[in-house]
Amino acid sequence: MPDSDALQVGLGRRGYPIHIGRGLIRRRELLAPHIEGRQVLVVTSETVAPHYLEALVDALSPTRPEQVVLKDGEEQKTLDTFRHVVDRLLEAGFSRDCVLIALGGGVVGDIAGFVAGCYQRGVSLIQVPTTLLAQVDSSVGGKTGVNHPLGKNMIGVFHQPVCVIADMDTLATLPLAEHRAGLAEVVKYALIVDLPFFAWLEEHAGALLAREAETLAHAVRRCCEIKAEIVARDERESGTRALLNLGHTFGHAIEAGLGYGRWRHGEAVAAGICAAADLSRRMGRITTAECDRIRALFERLGLPTGIPQEVSPAAMLELMARDKKVERGRLRLILLRSLGAADISTDFDPEALRSTLRECRA
């Protein structure tokens, strides 16, 4: 694997590189062009800081960054935490040309990104994702935000980073359950646009779980390629980008219904994708064999394949009705057309959806 191998998110003047490789946190030259002469705030979490904060701070030298170390967990993704970070920026007298660096998983990235998007109407952001999920998904594409008790990611802005630094070495300290959760989003990419990649994932499930370096690097790179391409085509989700939400309407309802933090986001997405596949099957869009293949891959990866019993079908329906994809009162769902192809559907059969919610249970 090369040290650094950059992809580009093609958004014209707002385009940016995604550096993927090993030992990148220590690579001063990747950070220097974005921080020289500026005030820098690193936002990280209690778990990530002891592993990687020092290395990052060394790489920023001679700049001495301010630091905010957040408590861990999805339940921290709130307006209160947002306010806490903004308070720090104001107390330290940060001006509009400052830079925020998000060092951590998707929770840290979404909060720091939201602050960067709002502080003085928008300041620079560098994403340094340290979970598999954040490397393949949340650090790329500019979606930022926090949760509301009534709905996931309900408050936020689009705000693209100036650079993403995905240091594969950071994945070594990730707990296995978090690693598995990241693999759920990896499977999502394959299902929406890339059947050969899906077959490759089936073949390499064991190596991916064992975090075999070359295999994992290939998966991260392929996901970032797909995401960069989709974001470049549809930055603000007026069409194609919605495909990246396969399983997420179900998944977000599971997360909110259980209470944030009970299930990992990736776990809820895996169960949500199985529900979306089940509904696609009921509507004759995919075969039972294809549906079984999806479920089997998630089972091999050690991920949930059904909606938890605690969230009733009625609660799921109510929570799903608050989804951001609801348009003019109509719920839109991402459904599969085949393995490797998906589309946005409003004309799904409501009775089939109710059957899925009743029967696709953990």
Residues acting as catalytic residues: 121, 143, 185, 227, 237, 241, 245, 248, 252, 265
Q: Which is nearer to ligand NAD, 65 or 117 (CB)?
A: 117
Distance, CA of 142 to CA of 307 (rounded, Å): 29
Name every residue whose Cβ is closer than 8 Å to that of residue 2 and which is 6 or more positions away in sequence.
21
Shortest spacing between CB 62 and ligand NAD, in angstroms: 26
Find the binding residues for ligand NAD in span 171-190 (CB under 6 A). Answer: 173-174, 178, 181
Distance, CA of 1 to CA of 220 (rounded, Å): 12
* Single residue of 21, 65, 105, 247 touching ligand NAD by CB under 6 A: 105
Q: Is 134 in the site for ligand NAD (CB under 6 A)?
A: yes
Exposed (0-12), middle (13-18) or buried (19+): which is 250, by Cβ within 10 Å? buried
The encoded tokens of residue 96 equal: 């509009």
Query: To which H or E segment does residue 6 belong?
Result: strand 4-9
Q: Is 158 in the site for ligand GLY (CB under 6 A)?
A: no
Sheet bearing 66-70, strands edge to edge: 4-9, 16-21, 163-167, 124-129, 99-104, 40-45, 66-70
Q: Is 88 in the site for ligand GLY (CB under 6 A)?
A: no
- Give the binding range for ligand GLY (CB under 6 A) out of 147-155, 238-246, 288-296, 308-316: 238-246
Q: Mask: binding to ligand GLY, 105-144, rule CB under 6 A, as x and -? A: --------------------------------x---x-x-
Q: Which is nearer to ligand GLY, 56 or 134 (CB)?
A: 134
178 binds, among ligand NAD, ligand GLY, none (CB under 5 to 8 A by kind): ligand NAD
Cis upstream peptide for 149 (omega within 30°): no
Q: Which is nearer to ligand GLY, 104 or 141 (CB)?
A: 141
Shortest spacing between CB 91 and ligand GLY, in angstroms: 32
* 327 C-beta neighbours (distance < 10 Å), count: 11
Q: Which is nearer to ligand GLY, 19 or 252 (CB)?
A: 252
Give residue 60's Cα distance to chain centre: 26
- How far, CA to CA in Å, does 205 sit from each of 101, 136, 273, 291, 338? 32, 16, 17, 18, 21
188 binds, among ligand NAD, ligand GLY, none (CB under 5 to 8 A by kind): none
Among 240, 222, 218, which Cα is nearest to 231's?
Answer: 240
Distance, CA of 119 to CA of 201 (rounded, Å): 40
Q: Is 130 in the site for ligand NAD (CB under 6 A)?
A: yes
Shortest spacing between CB 340 and ligand GLY, in angstroms: 18
334 binds, among ligand GLY, ligand NAD, none (CB under 5 to 8 A by kind): none
Q: Is the alpha carbon torsion for 142, 175, 179, 149 positive or negative?
A: negative
Q: Which is nearer to ligand NAD, 257 or 291 (CB)?
A: 257
Q: Which is nearer to ligand NAD, 26 or 293 (CB)?
A: 26
Footprint of ligand NAD (CB under 6 A): 45, 47-48, 51, 72, 74, 77, 104-108, 110, 130-131, 133-134, 137-138, 141, 143, 153, 170, 173-174, 178, 181, 264-266
